[in-house]
Amino acid sequence: MIFADFAKAVGQLGDPRFRRVLLLGVALTLALLVAIYALFLWAIQSFAPDQITIPFVGPVGGLGTLLSWGSAVLMIALSVFLMMPVASAFTALFLDDVAQAVEDRHYPGLPPAQKQGFGDAAIDTVNFVALLVAVNAVALVLYFLVGPFAPLMFWAVNGLLLGREYFTMIAARRMGRVAAKAFRKRHWLSVWWAGALMAAPLTIPFVNLVVPVLGAATFTHLVHRLNAADARLNS
């Protein structure tokens, strides 16, 4: 059923409004990726005692490093890892627009969604990005221990975190944050599975640019499908 949710998200690419949201989302995702990569270079420059040289990039320092061709190649390679915090940061900035576009097309007649204040959403996202980085830092040791299964573990860990964030924020638009958390706990396995399916293509360069938008659309369908299933069970 999750694949059907994803198929609906892809099927909406012909919708002019959704296409506009997709293009804006890709632009935002790319901007976030560049920003996080610039932060990565700044951290190297700040904490390294002497100037260091990165293969294919050269000496790290200043705007020239960020704009070099070698730096672009390295950024694409690092996007395998950097897209996880990018996708989480995307939630505060653009998720509501994607969810609304999906609801207008597939779920007409719904009452206006509850919109979380940008400040509150930004604080939640900063906290979540910090959690994402901390968990992956701890899991880094385990990635080495599991050898060839490291990608599966990486997708499972980040899928759990990303699914939790996307599902909760989308559900909260319709039922409030407390009810959304309880809703997520009831369907934690479906949320985890959907998150893992989102995390896997996030590690594929270029493909990962469209994943935050299509992921948000897929989770919107997932929320409404599971909510409808719960309503049928309780009727």
Backbone angles phi and psi of 58, in degrees to 5: 100, -165
> Quick one: average pLDDT of 157-167?
92
> Quick one: average pLDDT of 128-146?
82
Residue 213 CA from chain centroid, whole number? 8
- Residue-level pLDDT at 57: 47
pLDDT tier for residue 56 given thresholds of 50, 70 and 90: very low
> Quick one: average pLDDT of 79-95?
75
On the question of pLDDT at 33 being above 80, the answer is no
Q: How high is the mean pLDDT of the chain?
A: 81
Of residues 103 and 122, more confidence is placed in 103
Judged by DSSP in three states, 53 sits in strand
On the question of pLDDT at 223 being above 90, the answer is yes
- Residue-level pLDDT at 50: 54
On the question of pLDDT at 174 being above 90, the answer is yes
**In angstroms, rounded to a whole number, what is the distance separating the alpha carbons of residues 234 and 130?**
38
> Quick one: average pLDDT of 177-183?
93
Amino acid present at 18: F
Judged by DSSP in three states, 58 sits in strand
On the question of pLDDT at 5 being above 80, the answer is yes
